[in-house]
Amino acid sequence: MLDTHARPYVQPVIEKAAQAFVRIGMTANQVTVLSFVTGVSAGLFALFGQFYVALIVLWISGFLDAVDGTMARMTKTSGWGTVLDVTFDRIVEISIILALAYQFPEAIWTLLLLSVAIIFSMTVFLTVGAVSEKKGGKSFYYQAGLAERTEGFLLFSIMLLLPGYLLATALLFAAAVTFTGCQRLWEAKKILG
């Protein structure tokens, strides 16, 4: 939801960063890899209990993830770049979830439920994107929903900063992602019906 509705407000900053990366000769795929390495390092910091550092690094990764897409649209989008981007995003999320499960084993089942919700929602998202004839500004049809990447980062941030609320936050996160998957499924029925 925030990715869709707040994007016009942050896009000028993202565009300036994208232009700077293009000027120094970097490609969108290189920034995707940089975002991935940064994001996975957030998981490593969380694994070792460095939650504040993990939080900062996670948000840097998220910013770079927005920049790479803007760079691709400024230069040339590619199917390979889309595959890298979507795959690396999930691995970053998994790295945070695994680190939290290691740090807080009492939350393993709740974090597993969150992982299942993400799998469900992403399966719908990617399948609709693959079979839909509709296209947006991205290389595939992007279905907006209640829980997009920014909401995920906000909820991961709460889990990292307030681990006492980890179970409740992970349940809320799982519910929001499941609701989003259902939203996307309902929209798919209307589009593809």
Give the C-alpha distances (Å, rounded to integers) separating 1 from 17, 29, 117, 149: 23, 25, 17, 9
181, two tokens: 């998957």
d(CA 8, CA 60): 19
Q: What is the pTM of this model?
A: 0.90
Tell me which of 91 and 137 has the higher pLDDT. Answer: 91
Rounded to a whole number of angstroms, the distance between the first and last alpha carbons of the chain is: 24
85 Cβ neighbours under 8 A, 6+ residues apart: 32, 65, 68, 69
Is residue 129 very low, low, confident or very high in pLDDT (cuts 50, 70, 90)? Answer: confident
Give me the pLDDT at residue 54, please: 98
> 2-192 architecture in CATH?
Up-down Bundle (1.20)
CA 47 to chain centre: 19
Give me the pLDDT at residue 27, please: 96
The enclosing H or E element of 129 equals helix 108-131
Secondary structure tally for the chain: helices H, strands E: 7, 0
For residue 144, pLDDT beyond 80: no
Give me the pLDDT at residue 136, please: 57
